[in-house]
Structure 1
């Protein structure tokens, strides 16, 4: 009796060819890009990156890593503390076969402490690296770095400005969890004034037909500039001080911490830091099909008891960050 020929469950060569994209990176205009702002992305580019991220997830789940970026080097330059973002970029590069120069601790002991400018630091690192990821406390620092660099620069957060890769992973998580973006009611809760994650996510959501609810204390309201952009798009958007006003109808509850490091007056911080806490009791008022998200770290604004709720997606959100950053690194290095 002739043996039945079994088809392989997974073809690594086929996936690597798929990840190489057959020129799709060039067609989507991403090769050599600096990733500085969510303003660079429209719906087509979002769909493209999300498709690549799904392929990266498939690859990681099946074979853990490939050599797509073998020989390429990432310089991770973080002037502010970071756990998730720095680890996510490092993991993303290593999953793709590249290597990393991690400058994520002790920047104060580097040449910066000797008075070296950001531009000179960037020009130095580009001698070693093919792409630079930068986190810096000043708005506009990523753009300044990109102007100095001859290699792609990716903004990993510039003070209270933007955090584009976080916004991309947030939007990807919404799509993955809810199956769609159009038609959703998205509520953002907490520090909307200094929260760069909500600034960037709101800008991305302007490409979709969504309803927006902004929940914050008066002193932490969403900046007027962003509210004007929302209104100019004609989206249904409202502000409130009470999370109870939005919890029953929200499809997405995006919670942020009140950032102590952004306050010069600690009395003001202590006044608002515990104003919103998501608890199991509050979640009983929410829809059965919805999602709770948080960019992390949290400092009490989501009760640990909520972690067991299947609607709590913040750790799945973290994992999605690696896939999005893998897709971006491959894209800007011409391997998407």
Structure 2
């Protein structure tokens, strides 16, 4: 599959499409460095965010501006859209599709992006749907790993923290299934383990993985440490949150156990699970990772709008 219209989930990406997208993202780095290009001067992108966002919304909006397009939208659609009056998501999307050429949507409900795509007359990009998926974050994560290591095959990836509600982990796991000899270590408290449906997909694709609670024991063997926040807002109760909070922290002590060429990633925002003393270490790539989000999203916008045409 080399075409792309909607971006709804990580499973829709195969190796050929990933290679083309990453090649385009590399080109977009140069476009952005030159201040942008007028590739879509007559196109309008709508950003419809029902959940709070900094990196995802700003990088998408910056990406559209860098490509010469325009942006309309709301950062608090749950309050500043007609859904507060009882309008269905489907009706909202039908209306917004008539005003724009592309919709980027973040929603609280799993599957909301697919519902939107089913009625939209323009491409829809999933910018996160509850605890389901976050495909564009996973794409920039994977792009960062490829840039930093020069490839992805043969790497040992440790995913740490909230693996039940961590949609970025789900999407990244699906994308990693496109590469050979990748091993994933899922490291989490017992009450936020990786969901069975993610493991089932990895089993079907023949991906090697393990589940453990021991971060220290794997610190010297993993190539990538993908740390995630324990998402208080997604837990069913404060008691369940307290069971998981604060168990895994990357600090200077853990750095001393890591490989010299290891990589530390985080989808951000962080909430204490990476100590600020780690920031100056060359292995800390999470701010470079966030910057790569601009280039990946520029590449996605270009591909979606080109396919639309």
Instruction: Pick the TM interval, shorter chain.
Output: over 0.9
**Contact 2:45/2:72, CA 8 A, preserved across alignment:** yes
Selected match of 1:178 from 131, 145, 149 = 149
Which residue in the other structure is 2:281 paired with? Answer: 309
1:201-280 map, 5 Å: 201-209=172-180, 210-280=182-252
Question: How many pairs were matched up?
Answer: 307
Residue matched to 1:29? 3
Matches within 5 A, 1:1-336: 28-30=2-4, 33-61=5-33, 63-105=34-76, 107-209=78-180, 210-334=182-306
Question: Partners of 2:78 and 2:133 in 1: how far apart?
Answer: 21
Q: Distance in 1 between matches of 2:48 and 2:77?
A: 11
Cα distance, 1:106 vs. partner?
A: 5.5
Contact 1:178 / 1:290 at 8 angstroms: preserved in 2?
no
The separation in 2 between residues aligned to 1:321 and 1:299, in whole angstroms, is 20
Looking at structure 2, the residues matched to 106 and 186 of structure 1 have their Cα atoms a distance apart, in angstroms, of 35
- TM-score, normalised to structure 2, is 0.97
The alpha-carbon deviation at position 105 of structure 1 amounts to 2.6
Which shows bigger deviation, 101-110 or 235-244?
101-110
Q: CA deviation at 1:272?
A: 1.4
CA contact (8 A) 2:97 2:121 kept: yes
| Superposition CA RMSD, Å | 1.3
Q: CA contact under 8 A between 2:67 and 2:298: conserved in structure 1?
A: yes
* C-alpha distance in 1 between matches for 2:240 and 2:10: 31
TM-score computed with the length of structure 1 as normaliser: 0.89
Deviations 1:49-73 (A, max 9, x none): 0000000001112x11110011100
**Structure 2, unaligned runs of 5 or more:** none
Q: In 2, distance between residues paired with 1:194 and 1:64? A: 37
The structural deviation recorded for 1:256 is 0.3
- Structure 1 stretches of 4+ with a deviation exceeding 4 A read none
